[in-house]
Structure 1
Amino acid sequence: MTGRTSLRLNNDLPVAEYVDLVVAAEALGFDQVWVSDDLFLRSAPVMVTAAAARTSRIGLGIGIMNPYSVHPAELAMLAATLQEVSGGRFLLGLAAGAEEFLGWAGIPRPLPLTRTREAVRAVRALTRGDRPSDVPGAGEDWTSEAYLRFPLGAPAPVYVGAMSPKMLQMSGAEAEGVLPLLYPPEHFPVARDLVHDGARAAGRDPAEVDVAAAFWVSVDDDGARAERALAEKIAYYGASFSPYLLSRAGLAVEDFADIQAALSAGEPERATDLVTPEMLRLGIAGDADEVVRRCRWLQEQGATHLSFGPPLGPDPVAAVTVLGEQVLPRL
């Protein structure tokens, strides 16, 4: 296939299992593997360091980190150091983070758009050997003593995790890449156009911004098993999706009321049973043929980076193999 492909994995995986998946992804020809950095799970920087020692080609990303639980100065230190460890293969994903997760730690999340923009500008300045104090809009508290005091290689590309229209436009104006979570995948043209609008408004060439078509996928030789794995994920998370994105799939938060009631009653299997075919279309589920069909539509819409995210399938190892051996060669 032409273009770029990536896998997105969760940081709930045991480190050894995650590293094995990255090694397999490299052998199967994927270009990048991203791992989430959700609070109170495994440390994504440690996981990426472990993967860097076992691989040689594939890009290694953290998607995403946020400027509330980790200061932008430390984000820049981490990015520059992981570039050194990985031989220049690190990718830094930044976003405002999940308000609910941050709330568990008592961390407020004011001005998410502004703080994310400031973090992107500050990290890009620091990893290029510059001072954020010299960069307009990088935050007001930096002094001239804020700079990285070790030799720097090529700066790690910064990707922004974005869903809202304003965050997508900001991503196009500021970042090297964007990871817009697409619920449903058919939302891609709208998200892409918003990113490109932001790039043009900032005087940038939209072609310089890597806009990933980042979707949930569940694949298995048994399509019903693949659908069940995705339904479990949608039952748990669907009600927390933004009304804006749900509306793109003809859904509303209220449609998940019975599912939420089943989860609250401690009945996850019944909650999964209540996931409708319309809800399943928030992601891509089925056998390799179905995944190829939906991905070809994305390519027809101009997607040049396909990013496959969890649950991936009832068996993640088997799913990565199916994606690498039966899906990618056909795209």
Structure 2
Amino acid sequence: MSDRTGPIRGIELTPEHPPDRIASLAALAEGEGFDVAFASSHYFNRDPFVTLSRMADATENIRLGPGVVNPYETHPVKLAAQVATVDEVSDGRAVFGVGAGDRSSLANLGVERDRPLRRVLETFDVARDLWAGETVTHDGTFAAEDASLNLEPTEVPVYVGAQGPHMLRMSAKHADGTLINAAHPRDLEWSAGQIAQGLEERPDERGEFEALAFASVSVAAEEDAARGAARPPVAFIVGGAAEPVLERHDIDREAATAVADALERGDLTAAFGRVTPAMIDAFCIAGTTETVADRFEAALEHVDGIVVGSPLGPDLEDAVERASEALDRVDV
């Protein structure tokens, strides 16, 4: 893991709002001391790369990148070009957050998530060659023939979105960092064990590695308001959670199935209403600034930093400031 002094501070900004608002939030996050801002990528929201361009214009130092895009909706060579463009317009501040994507969302588009680990690895391997100015021919989970970028050569750090053991170990072996899709110390401790295995096989020339908790966070002045805002993201986390993850937190299987079934029916009101307090505790860092600071401190025993993820809180600007304050209170 990284030997950097102090935890890395990241934030996920979701383009469910217009790009100018997201850019304003990125500027606020920069002013509050965050190191990196990710624009999340979901087909039903605004385009993350258009949004990142606005974020670059509104900021000066904070690193910027998609968090995370998948290499199924968009060809990996095109993704490499998009990320390189973000790097160009931000004067070298880009990062590449890439993962396998959500299986159910891809299914909505008629896309099969085939061989996800290999697809993600090949995607950023090819991207690195393209960013170095090479002409690439590739025949694997995707094909490219004599592909190159009409952009200046660059280097962009790669962060892999991961939750399962194989993706975690692969990211530690090959990427610059991992974005662990978890918020609870129990999950993060388990993930750290998987990452440690991958680091044992990491080539020395790969350099430093950063493990970040990509955690659902909801912070507000009032505990109830924060926990209420956490219900939608927690419902989707529960709906896609693997059985071992539910067992790790003693989440009632029938309760989780009820949430998943409501999501599948498209009854979001019912799904959010079936989220239990135990689910919020397991899958979101939710509460007042003081509560969130305590949870951040527990999480940071296992990772190099935290990406403060959706929903942030019931009031986005207030939540950015409170999340920063909570990180300031952490004793590490």
TM-score, scaled to structure 2? 0.89
Q: 2:60 aligns with which of 56, 60, 65?
A: 56
> Does residue 119 of structure 1 match 2:123?
yes
Contact 1:80 1:127 in 2 (8 A): yes
Q: 2:21 aligns with which of 4, 17, 21?
A: 17
CA distance in structure 2 between the aligned counterparts of 1:140 and 1:60, rounded to whole angstroms? 26
CA distance in structure 1 between the aligned counterparts of 2:272 and 2:184, rounded to whole angstroms? 18
Alignment of 1:133-282 (within 5 A): 133=137, 141-143=143-145, 145-153=146-154, 155-204=155-204, 208-251=208-251, 253-260=253-260, 264=265, 266=267, 268=269, 271-281=271-281, 282=283
The aligned amino acid for 2:99 is A
CA distance in structure 2 between the aligned counterparts of 1:249 and 1:291, rounded to whole angstroms? 19
**Structure 2 stretches lacking a partner, 5+ long:** none
The aligned amino acid for 2:69 is M
- String of CA shifts for 1:214-243, please: whole Å, max 9, x gaps: 211111111111111112432344222222
Contact 1:196 1:206 in 2 (8 A): no
- String of CA shifts for 1:40-71, please: whole Å, max 9, x gaps: 32100000001101110111120111221111
Compare 54-63 and 95-104 and name the one that shifted more: 95-104
CA distance in structure 2 between the aligned counterparts of 1:206 and 1:180, rounded to whole angstroms? 19
Alignment of 1:250-329 (within 5 A): 250-251=250-251, 253-260=253-260, 264=265, 266=267, 268=269, 271-281=271-281, 282-299=283-300, 301-324=301-324, 326-329=325-328
1:90 partner SS: coil
CA distance in structure 1 between the aligned counterparts of 2:289 and 2:69, rounded to whole angstroms? 32
- In structure 2, relative to structure 1, the CA distance for the partners of 1:31 and 1:288 (3 Å cut) is same
Deviation at 1:164, TM superposition (A): 0.8
Compare 16-25 and 251-260 and name the one that shifted more: 251-260
CA distance in structure 1 between the aligned counterparts of 2:99 and 2:321, rounded to whole angstroms? 30
- In structure 2, relative to structure 1, the CA distance for the partners of 1:9 and 1:77 (3 Å cut) is same
Q: 2:50 aligns with which of 46, 52, 64?
A: 46
Count of paired positions? 324
- String of CA shifts for 1:267-323, please: whole Å, max 9, x gaps: 72x654543221111211110111111111122x24221111111111111111112
Compare 290-299 and 46-55 and name the one that shifted more: 290-299
2:151 partner SS: coil
TM-score, scaled to structure 1? 0.89
The aligned amino acid for 2:79 is L
CA distance in structure 2 between the aligned counterparts of 1:221 and 1:170, rounded to whole angstroms? 39
Contact 2:66 2:97 in 1 (8 A): yes
- In structure 2, relative to structure 1, the CA distance for the partners of 1:260 and 1:138 (3 Å cut) is closer
Compare 252-261 and 110-119 and name the one that shifted more: 252-261
Aligned to 1:76: 80
The aligned amino acid for 2:327 is L
1:314 partner SS: coil
Percent of residue pairs bearing the same amino acid type: 30
The aligned amino acid for 2:235 is A
- In structure 2, relative to structure 1, the CA distance for the partners of 1:226 and 1:70 (3 Å cut) is same
CA RMSD of aligned residues (A): 2.4
CA distance in structure 1 between the aligned counterparts of 2:268 and 2:45, rounded to whole angstroms? 24
Deviation at 1:4, TM superposition (A): 0.9
Deviation at 1:181, TM superposition (A): 0.4
2:294 partner SS: helix
1:161 partner SS: strand
- In structure 2, relative to structure 1, the CA distance for the partners of 1:193 and 1:132 (3 Å cut) is farther
CA distance in structure 2 between the aligned counterparts of 1:271 and 1:76, rounded to whole angstroms? 37
Contact 2:221 2:288 in 1 (8 A): yes
Aligned to 2:32: 28
Contact 2:65 2:83 in 1 (8 A): no
CA distance in structure 1 between the aligned counterparts of 2:142 and 2:136, rounded to whole angstroms? 9
The aligned amino acid for 1:291 is V
- In structure 2, relative to structure 1, the CA distance for the partners of 1:16 and 1:297 (3 Å cut) is same
Q: 2:133 aligns with which of 129, 134, 148?
A: 129
Deviation at 1:169, TM superposition (A): 0.8
Aligned to 2:329: 330
